[in-house]
């Protein structure tokens, strides 16, 4: 069971959920990105821009000697536009610290990720990192997976295998849906050229995330599952009242 603590930060004014995201991101950077860190993984989603914002505030001198490895197109753009040096996991298979968003985190630091369809690369960068930290607003801070994030477990699949994997997930008791783009004109295609299935499962099944992860990973055609089990070392949540909740 992870422990949980709270602290108040002085932060620039910003409203509601955005303020909470920024507070979490700033707290995580301040706690985990050390001056001597040379390779930093940058995750995906709407909280991560605040991570980059805080890193840029650490100054040009320290950032000049660093490489930043993205989890996808969005974070690559963030890194480039912030004037930071872009690296990749081919060159840097060992990352000092990766900071990423999350869709939900339970009390044991298990997480659901992949709401932005980036979870394959996100998991690679999480596992490549000596320290993997997630940042989120208060809505993502839960006790059990599948309560706040009801859309289901994101599963990245090879395009030609999606119908077969949907059937497999149904047989496992899930209610899989192929993720469609915003205009519903076609399926979401990941940065790796694959499809994403969202598979809700019962609370009983979600209560055993490691077993579920292992079962889905074994399905032929599955590239990665958005269940992050025993990977997250710390989670920072910005709260509505300006405080931060930390789970370690």
Catalytically active residues are 122
- Distance, CA of 169 to CA of 130 (rounded, Å): 33
- Distance, CA of 29 to CA of 98 (rounded, Å): 10
Closest to 179 (Cα-Cα) out of 170, 171, 188: 188
Give the contact letters, 173-212, x = binds to ligand 5RP (CB under 6 A), - = no. ----------------------------------------
Q: How far is the CB of 57 from ligand 5RP (least distance, A)?
A: 19
Q: Regarding beta strands 234-238 and 243-247, do their DSSP bridges make them parallel or antiparallel, or are they unpaired?
A: antiparallel
One of 70, 101, 174, 209 touching ligand 5RP (CB under 6 A): 101
Q: How far is the CB of 59 from ligand 5RP (least distance, A)?
A: 25
Does position 146 bind ligand 5RP by CB under 6 A?
no
Closest to 132 (Cα-Cα) out of 76, 51, 62, 63: 51
One of 40, 55, 105, 117 touching ligand 5RP (CB under 6 A): 117
Phi-psi region of 226 (alpha: psi -120 to 50; beta: other; left: phi over 0): alpha
Q: How far is the CB of 167 from ligand 5RP (least distance, A)?
A: 24
One of 43, 142, 152, 174 touching ligand 5RP (CB under 6 A): 43
Number of residue whose CB is nearest ligand 5RP: 45
Q: How far is the CB of 134 from ligand 5RP (least distance, A)?
A: 8
Does position 41 bind ligand 5RP by CB under 6 A?
no
Other Cβ atoms closer than 10 A to 42: 28
Q: How far is the CB of 112 from ligand 5RP (least distance, A)?
A: 8
Which residues 72-91 are close enough to bind ligand 5RP by CB under 6 A?
Answer: none
Q: Give start and end residues of each alpha helix (H) in the chain.
A: 16-32, 48-57, 60-64, 73-81, 119-128, 162-171, 203-206, 209-217
Collect all residues with Cβ–Cβ distance below 8 Å to 146 and sequence separation of at least 6: 104, 112, 152, 200, 201, 203, 206
Give the total of residues touching ligand 5RP (CB under 6 A). Answer: 18
* CB nearer to ligand 5RP: pick between 1 and 147: 147
Does position 123 bind ligand 5RP by CB under 6 A?
no
Other Cβ atoms closer than 10 A to 238: 31
Does position 121 bind ligand 5RP by CB under 6 A?
no
- Distance, CA of 232 to CA of 126 (rounded, Å): 8
* Structural tokens at position 152: 């289901």
Q: Which residues bind ligand 5RP (CB under 6 A)?
A: 43-47, 100-103, 113-119, 122, 136
């Amino acid at each position: 069971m992870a422990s949980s603590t709270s602290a108040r930060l002085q932060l620039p004014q910003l409203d509601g959920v955005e303020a909470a995201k920024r507070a979490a991101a700033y707290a995580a950077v301040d706690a985990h990105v050390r001056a001597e860190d040379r390779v930093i993984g940058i995750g995906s989603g709407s909280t991560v821009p605040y991570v980059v914002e805080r890193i840029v505030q650490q100054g040009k001198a320290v950032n000049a000697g660093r490489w930043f490895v993205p989890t996808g197109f969005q974070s690559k753009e963030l890194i480039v536009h912030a004037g930071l040096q872009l690296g990749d996991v081919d060159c840097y298979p060992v990352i000092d610290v990766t900071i990423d968003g999350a869709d939900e985190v339970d009390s044991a630091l298990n997480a659901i990720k992949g709401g932005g369809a980036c979870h394959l690369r996100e998991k690679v960068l999480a596992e490549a990192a000596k320290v993997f930290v997630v940042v989120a607003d208060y809505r993502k801070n839960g006790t059990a997976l599948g309560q706040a994030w009801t859309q289901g477990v994101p599963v990245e699949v090879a395009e030609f295998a999606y119908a077969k994997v949907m059937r497999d997930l149904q047989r496992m008791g899930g209610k899989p849906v192929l993720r469609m783009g915003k205009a519903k004109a076609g399926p979401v295609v990941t940065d790796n050229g694959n499809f994403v299935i969202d598979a809700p499962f019962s609370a009983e099944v979600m209560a055993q995330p490691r077993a579920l992860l292992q079962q889905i990973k074994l399905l032929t055609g599955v590239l990665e599952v958005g269940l992050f089990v025993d990977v997250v070392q710390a989670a920072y949540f910005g709260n509505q009242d300006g405080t931060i909740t930390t789970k370690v």
